[in-house]
Amino acid sequence: MQAAISKESGKVVYQCSDGGLVPDLGVAHEIVHVPESLRDVFELATPDPRPGLSDEQRLQLQLFGLVRGAGLMTAPTDLDGWTELACAAIDRQAGALRETIGTPGYGQLTEYDRTLEDARAFLETVGADPATDPAGYPMVQAEIDALAAASGEAPDPAAVAQEIIDLAAAWHAAIAAIKRVRRLAKMRIQAAAGVEEIADILAGVEWPEVEGVVPE
């Protein structure tokens, strides 16, 4: 996907990389005014490697990339548009932070959940019967096998299961903290009376420290 600015019309033209026009965006749009207060928080003042662009062209192309990256179909032209783009930016930041503490993807999340289920079930059973074979709990056994292969020593199955549970608890607390910040920021943005307030909210978001919290 590309955006081009017509020097003749002074308008932004959105088009596909093969030159075909994008439905709903395949028309010339008036140059979008980007409030100064939003340029920094949306990082729209960063250098652009493409030569021969004016500052306005560079700004419009960067805005286009931001809009498309947020999955939106139109550039913001009013408070509602900037609100939508700001909320999308918050969601994107939250998603990027979550990915630092866990492998993204539905399959991986399913594995985390199943591993936790097996660990809980194994500990409950082994508490009543210390001779319980972890082979009956495939995800716990998989972790035991991986640890044994890496260290050359067989770990204590109950200790492995407990570590899985402890890490999962820390991970759930971390993603809950991310959710709290994400939801509050979006609520405040949606209630904002103007773009200056939106800019202040975006600039003031403080994400939690979640380094090192990775489930097994």
pLDDT at 38 (0 to 100): 84
| Cβ atoms 43, 34 nearer than 8 A | no
CA distance 29 to 34: 14
199 in Cβ contact with 44 (< 8 Å):
no
pLDDT in tens, 25-38: 444 455 677 888 88
Are the C-beta atoms of 205 and 185 separated by less than 8 Å? yes
- H or E, element range at 161: helix 157-190
**pLDDT tens for residues 159-191?**
999 999 999 998 899 999 999 999 999 999 999
What are the pLDDT tens digits along the chain (216 aa)?
444 444 444 454 444 344 333 333 444 455 677 888 888 888 776 665 556 667 777 777 777 778 877 888 777 888 998 999 999 999 989 998 988 888 778 788 899 899 999 999 999 999 889 899 999 999 999 999 999 999 999 999 999 999 999 999 988 999 999 999 999 999 999 999 999 999 999 999 999 988 766 665
